[in-house]
Amino acid sequence: MDLDFNQEDLDFRNEVKDFIKEFYTQEMKDELARSKNGSASKDLHLKWQKSLYEKGWIAPNWPEEHGGPGFTTTQKYIFETEMAHAGAPRTIPFGLSMVAPVLMEFGTEEQKKKFLPDILSSKVWWCQGYSEPGSGSDLASLQCKAEDKGDHYLVNGTKIWTTLAQHADMIFCLVRTSKTEKPQEGISFLLIDMKSPGIDIRPLITLDQSPAPYQEVNQVFFEDVKVPKENLVGEENKGWTYAKYLLEFERGNSYSPSLYRGIKKLKDIAKDTSIGNDKYLINDIDFVSKLNQCEIEVQALEFVELRIFSALSAGQRVGPESSILKCRGTELQQKIQELSVEAIGYWSSPFVLDTFANINEPSIGPDYAMTITPSYLNGRKTTIYAGSNEIQRNIISKAVLGL
C-alpha cells in the first residue's frame, strides 16, 4: 500500500497537463465559466471530445479491445484529477459511459461494430430514456410500450428528464414489451434513432431557468415510432438486468476530483470576498471551518473511490457500492454549492437569464458570482437523478448490509 507516483506516472501527468494546455482553449474556458448548469454548447463539447478522441483518451474506462487507452488505476486517477483541476469540460456520459458498457457486455457483434466506434468518435450523440412521468424512483413500473410488429417494434409513450435530448442522434430506452406480474420481467432495452418519425421533444425549464434551446432536460414523446428489431439489446424482456448494469456505471464515477475543484473555487471566492476592516471571508474562522469540514469529507470520499477503483480493471462495474459514491458525491457537491451561495452574500440575488450568463454584458458584482446561485438551484437535481439518494440508501441497506 502506498500513495507514490513513479517516474512513468509523473511523465504521464505532464503529458496530460500539456494536452489540456493545448486543447482547452481560453475561449472554451470563458464559455464554461459562464454556464449556469455546467454544460456548454454542443459545438464546444464536440470539439473537446474530438481532441480527446484523437489523443486516444476519450474513454478512460473502456477496455483496450474497444479503443480504451489501457490506463493503469494510477493513470486514470491522474487523468481525472488533472482534468478536474483544470476545470475541463466533462465528456457527455450517455454514450461513452452508459450505453457503451451495456453494448460491450450484452450487445451483438453487429451492434458493437455499428455503435461503439461512433460513440468513441462522438459522431453520434446519445441520450437516456429511463424515467417517465409516472415512473421515477419506481422505474420498473414504466409504461412506454414497444409492440412486436414482425420486423419492427412500434413504440408509444413518453420519457421525461431526458438530458440534452435536443442534441441527441440516438436514445437508449427502457420499454415495456410484455405485461407480467413482476413489472421488472417485461422490460426491454431498445436503441432508437431520434430522427424517426413520431418523436417529439419538448423542453422542460428548470429552476435555473436556462431558456430553450439551452435547456438541460426534456420530455420526449413517442407516437407510433418504428424501431428495427436489430436495435433490441440482449434478449426481449430481460432489459431490467441491463438497465441496472448501466445504472451502476451512471452512479459509479469518481466525484472527488471535481469536488476538489469546487472547493478550490470556493476558497478563491472566500479570498476575494471582503468582510470589512481589510479582512476577507477566508479570515473568518466560522466560514473556513465549514469549508474545511467539506474538504475533509471530500478526502474521505476520494479514498473510498481510490480503494474501489483500484480493485477494478477496465470495463468492470463497481457493484452496489456505486451507491455510496453517488450519495456522498452528490451531497458534497450540494454542500459546496450551498457554501458558495453563502460566500457571495448579496451577489447571490441578481438573476441572469442566459445559460451562458450575459456574455455581452458586464456582470453585476464579481463575474464569478453570476453562475453560483443558478448552479446551486440546478444542483438540487443531483440527489434526485440516477435514482434518488433515498433509493441509493435502500440499495445499500438491501444489497450491502443485507437488511
Partner 1 sequence: MDFSFSEEQTLLRNTIQSFVQDNYDFDRRREIIQSDEGMSKDNWKQLAELGLLGVPFSENDGGLEFGSVETMIVAEEFGKGLVVEPYIQTVVTCGGFLRRASEAQRQEHLPGLISGDEIWAFAYAEPQGRFNLADIKVSAAKNGDEYTLNGDKCVVSAAPWAHKLIVSARTSGDQSDKNGISLFIVDKSSDGISTRDYKTVDGSMASEVSFENVKLNSSSLIGEEGNAYPLIELVADETIAALCAEAIGAMSVLNETTVEYCKTRKQFGQPIGKFQVLQHRMVDMFMQYEQSVSMTYMVNLKLEEEDLERSKAASGAKVQICNAAKFIGQSAVQLHGGMGMTDELNVGHYFKRLSMIETQLGNADHHLKKYSLAS
Catalytic residue from among 250, 295, 302, 342: 250
Question: Please, what is the minimum distance in Å from the beta carbon of residue 25 to partner 1?
Answer: 30
Q: For residue 371, which of 357, 358, 382 has the smallest C-alpha distance?
A: 357
∠ CA 251-253-255, nearest 5°, is 110
How near is the Cβ of 282 to partner 1 at its closest, in Å? 13
CA–CA gap between residue 208 and residue 231 (Å, rounded): 36
302, 307, 308, 314: CA torsion to nearest 10:
100
Residue 22 CB burial class (10 angstroms; 0-12, 13-18, ≥19): exposed
Applying CB under 8 A, the residues found at the interface with partner 1 are 131, 134-138, 141, 160-161, 204-207, 209, 217, 273-277, 281, 284, 286-287, 334, 338, 341-342, 345-351, 364-365, 373, 376-377, 380-381, 383-385, 388, 390, 393
The distance of closest approach from Cβ of residue 345 to partner 1 in the complex, given in angstroms and rounded to an integer, is 5
What is d(CA 219, CA 58) in angstroms, rounded to the nearest whole number? 29
For partner 1, give the closer residue by CB, 89 or 379.
Answer: 379
Helix (H, G, I), strand (E, B) or coil at 256: helix
Q: Taking the complex as a whole, how short is the minimal distance between the CB of residue 205 and partner 1, in angstroms?
A: 4
| Least gap, CB of 338 to partner 1 (angstroms) | 7
- The DSSP letter of residue 253 is S
Please provide the distance, in angstroms rounded to a whole number, between the alpha carbons at the two ends of the chain. Answer: 32
**Least distance (Å) from partner 1 to the CB of residue 157?**
17
Q: Which CB sits closer to partner 1, 126 or 287?
A: 287
* 250 noted as active-site residue: yes
Cβ nearer to partner 1, comparing 51 with 363: 363
Q: Produce one character per residue of 85-105: b if its CB has 16 or more CB atoms within 10 Å, e if not.
A: bbbbbebbbbbbbbbbbbbbe
Beta strands 232-233; 274-276: pairing state: unpaired
Q: How far is the CB of 36 from partner 1 (least distance, A)?
A: 11
Pair 144, 163: CB distance under 8 Å: no
Residue 294 is given by DSSP the state: H
Q: Which is nearer to partner 1, 207 or 306 (CB)?
A: 207
Give the list of residues 6+ apart from residue 332 with CB closer than 8 angstroms, or none: 255, 259, 294, 297, 298, 301
Cα separation, 257 vs 33, whole angstroms: 17
Q: Which is nearer to partner 1, 150 or 276 (CB)?
A: 276
CB-based burial of residue 343 (10 Å sphere; 0-12 exposed, 13-18 middle, 19+ buried)? buried
| Nearer of residues 28 and 339 to partner 1, judged by Cβ | 339
Give, as one character, the DSSP assignment of residue 387: S
Closest contact distance (angstroms) between CB of 38 and partner 1 is 14
Cell of 93: 456520459
Q: Which is nearer to partner 1, 114 or 244 (CB)?
A: 244
Please enumerate in sequence order all residues whose Cβ is within 8 A of that of 380, keeping only pairs 6 or more positions apart, or say none: 207, 334
Half-sphere exposure at residue 19, Cβ-oriented, CA atoms within 13 angstroms: 22
Between 308 and 377, name the residue whose CB sits nearer to partner 1: 377
Which positions are catalytic? 250
